[in-house]
Amino acid sequence: MDTNLVNDVVTLGLSGSTAQDVLRVARHNARIEISPEVLAELSRVRSQIDALASSDTPVYGVSTGFGALATRHIPFADRTKLQRSLIRSHAAGMGQPVEQEVVRALMFLRAKTLATGRTGVRPVVLETMVGLLNHGITPLVREYGSLGCSGDLAPLSHCALVLMGEGEAADREGRVRPVPELFAEAGLTPVELAEKEGLALINGTDGMLGMLLMALADLEDLADTADLSAAMSVEAQLGTDQVFRPELHAPLRPHPGQETSAANMFAALASSPIVQSHRENDGRVQDAYSLRCSPQVTGALRDTMAHARTVASRELAAAIDNPVVLPDGSVSSNGNFHGAPVAYVLDFLAIAVADLSSIAERRTDRMLDPVRSRGLPAFLADDPGVDSGMMIAQYTQAALVAENKRLAVPASADSIPSSAMQEDHVSLGWHAARKLRTAVDNLRRVLAIELAVAGRALDLRRPLMPGPVTSAVLELLRSKVAGPGPDRFLSADLEAVNQLLASGEINQVLRRVRSTA
């Protein structure tokens, strides 16, 4: 057994897998075990495929060509070559390799579908794919090649090619090495694909679904971070917490996400001496929209995520292949590989992420402008004019926001025909997923900049002190980034805050403070 395997184990059973299972395998290298019931079901269904393969009646995917070439009946002697040729020709991706966690998610989701028995593969195919995952062998999947219809064809084909002992792959440390060498080291044997198995390995929405599940996990944390950074901005700008009172949200406008975000902000500002300092003598009637409407915007992201989770859970329960083996043993062509349901929510999330990025940047800009910041020095500089303070941090933030607005243009609104017009409408769900990953990374950096700016602004409000929640977060920030002072290398400070978000440390502090409140 590989001594590097982690103790966490995910079982592939007939009942399917959860989103958490995908994350455990993709991001935390959980080991996979296949239940005996799955192996028995695969053997039973495979006997039905073998019977069809020996018949004189052509069956798509078993004894015919593929796509626009589906009308050609393939003689028995050529069928192994047919499967091998399918995978080699479809592994046509180009560009940079995608991230290891994306490939691992894609492979696990395909393994999950193989385990249903609806694809007709032999047990050895599933066992070898699981072996690759358990031994940390990651095929190199290239950025471009999927149109999000007929499955994520090229990405999955690059994985299937490695299953055959060919192609490109990296070891557990990310070093690209010869595939035969990796197989030998792991004690694995390459698979010679039989009838139906080539298509079964490449007809799925696994890449786009895996990226959706990981984006949802990241956005769950970033939504909490956005509530926190918004609260710190309100506090730093001497705003009011009264617009976040519960009676102004669920009873009047019952959006669950808005209610959650307002409650988070109200709790973060509770017992804040800064907020209390101006409550009785504040001449302003209302704060600006970017402060006052923060729960409405972050809450809308939360509700968009809830819809996306519903779609993702349905897709997780799916057994996508074409053709598919039905319970009665028949093999039927279908269109379930079309990625439209997943593509739409990926694009919807990108729109919400862009808007959340935009409102965070507006809150940041207010803190840097002496006309609107209520007594803070220009750009929060130590000596404005000599020092530029956080001026260019907002430039970087604005650049990230501009990029996210561009990434919010839906991929799924487009289509491009392929395969001699047989596949004449595609989802472009892979493209939607790739741009959402970039947008989520950009959002994290936007929020990191807001936290860095708001933290400095709160320091400059002393001797007034922030509340317990924001004080705890500020203490963590100061453990990594120095407080106000003369200009210094700013990029390093911003990246340090970004790493606090990426590592989950800020959200850990949030959860700890909330649990003791």
The answer to whether residues 6 and 28 touch, using CB atoms and an 8 Å cutoff, is yes
Which amino acid, one-letter code, is at 67?
G
Closest CA to 100 of 141, 128, 130, 132: 141
In degrees and rounded to multiples of 5, residue 154 shows phi and psi of -65, -45
The residue whose two tokens read 């959002």 is 443
Separation CA 99–CA 282 (nearest Å): 51
Q: What is the CA radius of gyration of the chain?
A: 27
Q: Of the candidates 251, 233, 264, 257, which has an alpha carbon nearest to the alpha carbon of residue 365?
A: 233
Choose, from 60, 144, 289, 395, the residue flagged as catalytic: 60
196-210: burial string, b at 16+ Cβ within 10 Å, e else: bbbbbbbbbbbbbbb
CA 338/CA 425 separation, integer angstroms: 9
Alpha carbon distance 103, 199 (integer Å): 18
Establish whether 289 is a catalytic residue. no
Which of 159, 153, 200, 198 lies closest to 325 in space, CA to CA? Answer: 200
Distance CA(405)–CA(355), nearest Å, equals 8
How far is 20 from 32, CA to CA, in rounded Å? 13
CA 204, 212, 112, 307 torsion: positive or negative?
negative
Q: What is the DSSP letter of 363?
A: H
CA 505, CA 507: separation in Å to the nearest integer?
A: 5
Residues designated as active site = 60
